[in-house]
Copies of this chain bind each other. A is one copy, B any other.
Amino acid sequence: MLRTHTCGELRLEDLNKKVTLAGWVQRVRNKGGLIWVDLRDRYGITQLIFEEGEADAALLKRAGSLGREFVVQAHGKVIERTAKNNKIPTGEIEIKVSDLQVLNKAKVPPFIIEDDTDGGEDLRMKYRYLDLRRNSIREKLHLRHRMMQETRKYMDLANFMEVETPVLIKSTPEGARDFVVPSRIHAGEFYALPQSPQTFKQLLMVSGFDRYFQIVKCFRDEDLRADRQPEFTQIDCEMSFVEQEDILELFEGMIRHLFRAVKGLELEEVQRMTYDDAMRLYGNDKPDLRFGMTFVELNEQAQDKGFNVFDSAELVVGICAKGAADYTRKQLDELTNWVKRPQIGAKGLVYVKCNADGTFKSSVDKFYSQEDLKSWAEKAGAAAGDLLLVLSGELDATRKQLSELRLKMGDDLGLRDKSVYKALWVLDFPLLEWDEETARFHAMHHPFTSPKTEDIPLLETDPGKVRANAYDLVINGVEIGGGSIRIHDRETQQLMFSHLGFTEEEAQSQFGFLMEAFEYGAPPHGGIAFGFDRLCAIFGGSDSIRDYIAFPKNNAGRDVMINSPSSISGDQLTELSLAIQRKKD
């Protein structure tokens, strides 16, 4: 090794040791005859000292000429600092340097390599290797490392086998777009990159593997949004001979283990809620339970009093913001404008202030008496000092709008503390959802999810009402995992495909191997997959997954550091039996 110790490990008890350190120059302070250098590596910072008289002139000169981010090796003796720094673990000592080698020089970095950097997003992506030098970023990737190790420990102890499924698989038109890989040997044919190992993990259950997991890269060729990546990582799991309850318990255990092992945190009991309740109470299938502010339906109280907006609405629904009755006219106007933005799409906002003296002040005072408003407040459990915010209109749209407003109020009132974690299972998802664009039903989860046995007859009469054996794990309003009990017999799987609009031939050519496998003794099975990037971000208290990925792509799916994607040679294209054929605009 080019060092005897790291820059994070020397302490007072190492006094007088002869040591060799290696690392990066973080800072040089040059007082003429006295030079201090902060030497940094992954493990910490240690101060080097060069003193006139003690160090020879050449050494002093060399130390004085060091630039930021130079890589150096320093030999010296551990001494006690006169001015101690109790902010860092090595702050009681320094190294009196007797020899110094520059292992590599460094140009001046294009941005400051500290937690608080002056580098913009684009610059930091181009020089990602320098961005990764910043402690704050490296710590995020260290968290990710720990999450991976602890996930595997838990799964291994629970008898799950880690099995690598193939990356070069087959394209299926269902769901999001596949990335494809042209085959050179089989001209005109393509592999596809997996959107998930779904069919393979189900085959492993047919194989009797009993418990499978994998932390695995998946791929989706989507039009990218702010927080999507074309390649992402899943914790992918599947179990045989289980019922939904078994999966909920086992993976609640996994999340609990991760909080304990990685964050030293004891997670409260994971709550449970049906999809219907989540939509009714929070207008959202991934409610943030760090705060209440549940929906209060006011149709009965608010309709037939002459206020046409409410009278004509399918739903009148409000939330009670505790202690917000002192919102000013200006604040309320801002909220109204906020919900009327096209992104939210509400027509307007009705408020009711519960005054300290027991009276009410609302934006619809001319339609409603104090008694009327009191009945709203009572329904909402509002007390003096609280503020009711009410929206109305078509049911689904209004719920969606109020959900957005609820989250905004949670933010405004400081109720969404990033250090608090509230986990929730959302259960009984619908099996199918209607897609306006294609005018047919799509699988809400995926086509392998089983319907609840008692709802199967509804498939023929009212498909939208069929509930699935499907569940999502939500933490702080973010969906971090989802899964289902699968179909495990050919007949039900075929029925499902036909309800999804597959012809028999299409079902056979795309998923024939799976349906055939079901005929050779497939056990009942189910599973779950967690979005690992997002899980890491949640654990790190961040909204963005990008910092938790070592080399992310930008919003255009481009790696600006290596400049990819890029053109390939004509020879390569010829070998692949391909030609570029630009779309006509």
A residues bordering B, Cβ < 8 Å?
1-3, 6, 22-24, 40-43, 69-71, 73, 103-107, 109, 127-130, 132-133, 138, 141-142, 144-145, 148-149, 152, 156, 161-171, 173, 177-193, 199-200, 203-204, 206-210, 217, 219, 221, 223-224, 230-231, 233, 241-243, 246, 488-489, 513, 517-524, 549-551, 553, 556-559, 561-569, 572, 574-583
- Quick one: which of B162, B165, B180, B243 contacts A576, CB cutoff 8 A? B180
Q: Is the CB of A563 within 8 A of B184?
A: no
List the 10 closest A-B pairs by CB distance, nearest first: A106-B521, A132-B207, A170-B564, A189-B565, A69-B521, A183-B565, A2-B241, A579-B581, A42-B210, A129-B203
Contacts A182-B182, A488-B104; A242 near B551 (Cβ below 8 A): no
Find chain B residues with CB under 8 A from A207 CB. Answer: 129-130, 132-133, 138
Kindly state the separation between the CA atoms of A479 and B233 in the bound complex, as whole angstroms: 31
Kindly state the separation between the CA atoms of A582 and B524 in the bound complex, as whole angstroms: 45
- In the assembled complex, 19 residue pairs joining A and B whose CB atoms fall closer than 8 Å, in A order, are A2-B243, A2-B524, A24-B523, A42-B210, A69-B520, A71-B523, A71-B524, A104-B523, A104-B524, A105-B521, A128-B203, A168-B559, A170-B564, A181-B181, A188-B582, A192-B568, A513-B561, A575-B583, A578-B581
Find chain B residues with CB under 8 A from A104 CB. Answer: 488-489, 518, 521-524
**Least Cβ distance of A433 to chain B in Å?**
24
Kindly state the separation between the CA atoms of A167 and B553 in the bound complex, as whole angstroms: 11
Q: Oligomeric state, in number of copies? A: 2
Q: Is the CB of B171 within 8 A of A566?
A: yes
- Quick one: which of B141, B566, B581 contacts A170, CB cutoff 8 A? B566
Contacts A203-B129, A550-B165, A563-B170; A181 near B210 (Cβ below 8 A): no
**Least Cβ distance of A540 to chain B in Å?**
15
Kindly state the separation between the CA atoms of A564 and B166 in the bound complex, as whole angstroms: 11
Find chain B residues with CB under 8 A from A163 CB. Answer: 141, 144-145, 550
Residue of B nearest to A215 (CB): B164
Contacts A2-B242, A210-B42; A70 near B182 (Cβ below 8 A): no
Find chain B residues with CB under 8 A from A581 CB. Answer: 574, 577-579
**Least Cβ distance of A160 to chain B in Å?**
9
**Least Cβ distance of A271 to chain B in Å?**
23
Find chain B residues with CB under 8 A from A567 CB. Answer: 188-190
Q: Is the CB of A169 within 8 A of B562?
A: yes
Kindly state the separation between the CA atoms of A82 and B15 in the bound complex, as whole angstroms: 73
Q: Is the CB of A568 within 8 A of B171?
A: yes
Contacts A132-B204, A182-B182; A164 near B564 (Cβ below 8 A): no
**Least Cβ distance of A147 to chain B in Å?**
10
Q: Is the CB of A209 within 8 A of B138?
A: yes
Find chain B residues with CB under 8 A from A551 CB. Answer: 165-166, 200, 203
Q: Is the CB of A1 within 8 A of B243?
A: yes
Find chain B residues with CB under 8 A from A578 CB. Answer: 578-581
Residue of B nearest to A203 (CB): B129
Find chain B residues with CB under 8 A from A520 CB. Answer: 69, 106-107, 109, 127, 129-130
Q: Is the CB of A217 within 8 A of B69?
A: no
**Least Cβ distance of A344 to chain B in Å?**
29
**Least Cβ distance of A237 to chain B in Å?**
14
Find chain B residues with CB under 8 A from A488 CB. Answer: 104
Q: Is the CB of B130 within 8 A of A180?
A: no
Give the one of A22, A149, A551, A579 with max B CB within 10 A.
A551
Kindly state the separation between the CA atoms of A374 and B284 in the bound complex, as whole angstroms: 92
**Least Cβ distance of A276 to chain B in Å?**
27
- Quick one: which of B166, B241, B572 contacts A559, CB cutoff 8 A? B166
Kindly state the separation between the CA atoms of A138 and B572 in the bound complex, as whole angstroms: 39
Kindly state the separation between the CA atoms of A443 and B185 in the bound complex, as whole angstroms: 27
- Quick one: which of B109, B130, B230 contacts A168, CB cutoff 8 A? B230
> With A105-B519, A171-B566, A182-B182 given, can you name 12 additional A-B contacts, CB distance below 8 Å?
A1-B242, A24-B208, A104-B488, A104-B522, A107-B520, A129-B207, A132-B207, A185-B224, A187-B580, A188-B582, A204-B550, A579-B579
Q: Is the CB of A129 within 8 A of B206?
A: yes
Give the one of A204, A489, A520, A569 with max B CB within 10 A.
A520
Q: Is the CB of A166 within 8 A of B231?
A: yes
Residue of B nearest to A242 (CB): B1
Q: Is the CB of B41 within 8 A of A210?
A: yes
Find chain B residues with CB under 8 A from A169 CB. Answer: 559, 562, 564
Q: Is the CB of A524 within 8 A of B168?
A: no
Q: Is the CB of A1 within 8 A of B246?
A: yes
Q: Is the CB of B41 within 8 A of A208?
A: yes
Find chain B residues with CB under 8 A from A41 CB. Answer: 208, 210
Kindly state the separation between the CA atoms of A81 and B76 in the bound complex, as whole angstroms: 74
- Quick one: which of B71, B188, B210 contacts A580, CB cutoff 8 A? B188
Kindly state the separation between the CA atoms of A127 and B518 in the bound complex, as whole angstroms: 12
**Least Cβ distance of A150 to chain B in Å?**
10
